[in-house]
A = this chain, B = another copy of it.
């Protein structure tokens, strides 16, 4: 059975990546493509790598153009999706690649985004661990909440990397969620097509540039929310992204202290938490002991690769997670969640093989 999909914000990176994937998806027919200032021009001018859709003309982003599809993907600036989504019928699957509907706590939204909260949608990270009732020790996965969902909020790319790296240890009670520290090497496509001097190639090449240092990055409350869902009590995290000269990719180094009582755990035992969490997952994998993830391994793929180590001197577990920010971090995660919501095999149209070297 074929579903029709409209994409709003088709000339940007997130919208483009969604189209790159959907163009080869066997059960999807691509409908309306809309844009803001680029409306009226051909998609091939803005996304020349998507040959299959190069001739498509971009329509203005308004509700009329988005109506009449089975699925609507919103790849819009933060704050822009709430109003449009509210006008789409309840039985349309609406997938928001922006931040508007990710957070549960309206205060956290307002603290970091400064605008009124648009509401909370089912969270599109199928592999997110959900701790059961107190003391039950049972875990379910977010995937279960996505079946038949008609609204999905796709996670932030950095959030996906840090959550997948840390959550098994936290859900298993092996890691303390107090005093987490994460530093991420991130590619430039995460910043979008915005025209800013520090995003120019001449500034980026040969350089590493930190940003949002000191706790101001908007992905922080979302990471905290995820890890609480995975079973943490209070979460604190120092989070620093560093732009490095690559177009795609996130390499998240996230460290946590071993939880009290588990200071002497050996590596094989620690690894079991990650193995169990991900053994049945098609897109998230703990690498064999001793092999470390790199972003190139995941380029163009919906794959997240994780590795862990214990640093006895420092009393910390170090996790490293690699994803492609535009795929597993955005559009691939969206398509995976879409597949689940539509009752399709979750891997349909997605690959686990990275484009490397």
Contact = CB atoms under 8 A, between A and B. Distances in A.
Interface of A: 13, 16, 20, 23-24, 44-45, 47-52, 179, 181, 183, 185, 187-189, 191, 193, 195-197, 199-211, 213-215, 220, 236-240, 242, 244-249, 251, 253, 255, 257, 285, 287-288, 291-301, 303, 305, 307, 309-316, 318, 320, 322, 351-357
Given A181-B255, A249-B208, A238 B314 contact: yes
A13 B203 CA distance: 10
Contacts of A320: 210, 213, 240
Q: Can you list the 5 inter-chain pairs with the closest CB atoms, starting with the nearest?
A: A214-B309, A201-B204, A49-B354, A215-B311, A207-B296
27 contacts: A16-B356, A20-B356, A48-B305, A48-B356, A49-B299, A50-B353, A185-B242, A187-B202, A188-B201, A188-B357, A189-B202, A189-B357, A203-B247, A204-B205, A206-B247, A207-B294, A207-B295, A208-B246, A209-B294, A210-B251, A213-B318, A214-B309, A214-B310, A237-B314, A244-B246, A245-B245, A248-B357
A201 to B, nearest CB: 3
Contacts of A45: 291
Given A195-B197, A201-B188, A255-B238, A210 B247 contact: no
